Structure 1
Amino acid sequence: MKSNRRSFLRFSALALPLTRINQVFAKSKAVNKPLVVSTWNSGQISNAAAWPVLEKGGKALDAVEQAAIAIENDINCCVGLGGNPDRDGHVTLDACLMDDKFNCGSVAFVEKVKHPISLARKLMETTPHVFLAGEGAQQFAIASGFKLESGKLSPDAEKAYKEWLKKADYKPVINIERQQAHPKGHGPFAPERFEDGSFNHDTMGTIALDASGNLSGMCTTSGMGFKMRGRIGDSPIIGSGLYVDNEVGAATGSGQGEEVIRICGTHTIVELMRNGATPAEACKKAIERIIKINPEKAKTFQVGFIAINKQGEIGAYSIQKGFNYTVTEQGGKGKVINSESYFS
């Protein structure tokens, strides 16, 4: 009888689902060193704001919020109130964040709020809700003490909008984030310039691992320039633009959000890591899944993912070349890395 019981217990242990085994392994192998990873070379701005929090032993959640605030403050054409407007001339913002305990908050289609990331965190921490949009999100901002800005376009965005109105044609372009650089640049963290004088900037996604071995992430954007009014991309959607599972890893991305939504991109990446894939492998498999839907269409748009796992491994992959990301760890200096891509 005892022998049969021992055999049963041995069999039960061997029959544990692979996912559970990976969870236990990931948890036991956590690397207690902080690191932060952001999309694009302009992630230097975000990482520089996140790193002091991590370096002092702070929480990953606080670090990624500071990363978002920094880039939302930076006047450019793709993030924050300085971003390009929709086709009706209004800047609308989307943002979300998620911590190590599956707490998450998202806001979308928000106008005149300078820091949608902080609004998303306020929603997460003070209400039972996860997602607010449009007028309701703005009402919540006012009730929570957020100051409403003027809504006036930044000089660069106004110029770009007037130029767009000449044709009023909406055709997303690969790496459209390469907007004309601001004449005053971006301070000490100026993104790398291309030969045509443009710089690389788009939706900012940041994921971080703190000294306690906990993960958090954020995503913030003004969305596609000159989009249809009311359009929401993947950025504020938990599981599409951002996903965090503290037992496994975290992922975020940038690019044409409609295509990311189709496969719940970041959740897919985390689940692939749960089942044994490295961050790089998981990002690549998710990109291949997008391409498989329509290989010819995939030649016309960009999506790039970044991911980290519980062991502190980092990975990225994109559809088209031109996607890069910024890594900051020991030493505190951000390193820009060019992602591998499906199409060369």
Structure 2
Amino acid sequence: MEKTFNLSNGAQIPCVGLGCGAIKEDEIEDTLRTALKSGYRLFDCALLYGNEAWIGTAFEKIFSEGEYSREDVFITTKLPMIGNHPDRVEYFLKKSLENLKTSFVDLYLIHFPVGFQYENEDNYFPKKDGIIQLDFSHTDLVSLWKAMEQQVIAGRTKAIGISNFNVKQISQILKCRIPPANLQIEVHAYFQQKELRDFCKNNGIVVEAYAPLGSPGRREAFKPNGVPQVLADPIVTAIAQRYSKSPAQILLRFLVDEKVVVLPKSVSPVRLHENIELFDFEMTAEDHAQLNSLDRGEKGRSFDYLKIFQGLEKHPENPMPIMEFVEE
């Protein structure tokens, strides 16, 4: 079982990574040490998570001890939505590099195709009357992508990619000088995004899954009356029991077998170890057929950005299907 996938720039990306968005300051060093010891080499960060500087400090300390080096890890970070303008890409990447205490990242992503109004460099979620202010003044993804390309040319990132983009949006930038190496989206057994993933496969784009376990906390917060937890699905638990594995291990291995990079989040040493112990068993074609049958389409989505960002349906680069907004 291969443990890395090939990116279009020739680099290899580990097929299991650690989502760093929920790690608190007092947890970061211990979490990174445990993750490295367990075998993690891919670390998924973002400026708007607010913990990049702590991650950078922890890595600097760990690397100084000699057992691991910067070259051993694959670091991803992302352009915040207030940076969705060609003139701001370089600034925000440099800010991330300073935070992470590194001269380059391995992968830099546009976090979301819709920008937020820029007030200042530290206000990542500008609000008016409690509502996040979307930017309708700059919606040109091609010019934004060209600014991303310049970061590769300058050596600040080895690869560039996108997050939360749809087929139409990806198509806009495919003919640019440097094609996207990666698309990070929500993917799990209840929300498999097969059409989008097939499009990426046909265009040499590696897909990464955030919320590969269905993001239980997010689902409760935004869809209290929504679908049940995929971790508790009878098919998943039955397969897990058959292999003496956890439901999480079954769901993660399923996606890795589908050539999807998985980014589970945890600070628990037990779960950190469990989530990367995916390679000592092999599921059957029948198991895969059963897991494939769990797909609920849009009804299985955990991150409903139409609910999170008010007015998103009116934005020309809204990546969400409007049909779901109409139904709601």
- Structure having the higher Rg: 1
Q: TM-score, normalized by length of structure 2?
A: 0.27
Q: Which has the higher strand share?
A: 1
**Structure with more contact order per residue of length (Cα contacts < 8 Å, sep ≥ 6):** 1
Q: TM-score, normalized by length of structure 1?
A: 0.26
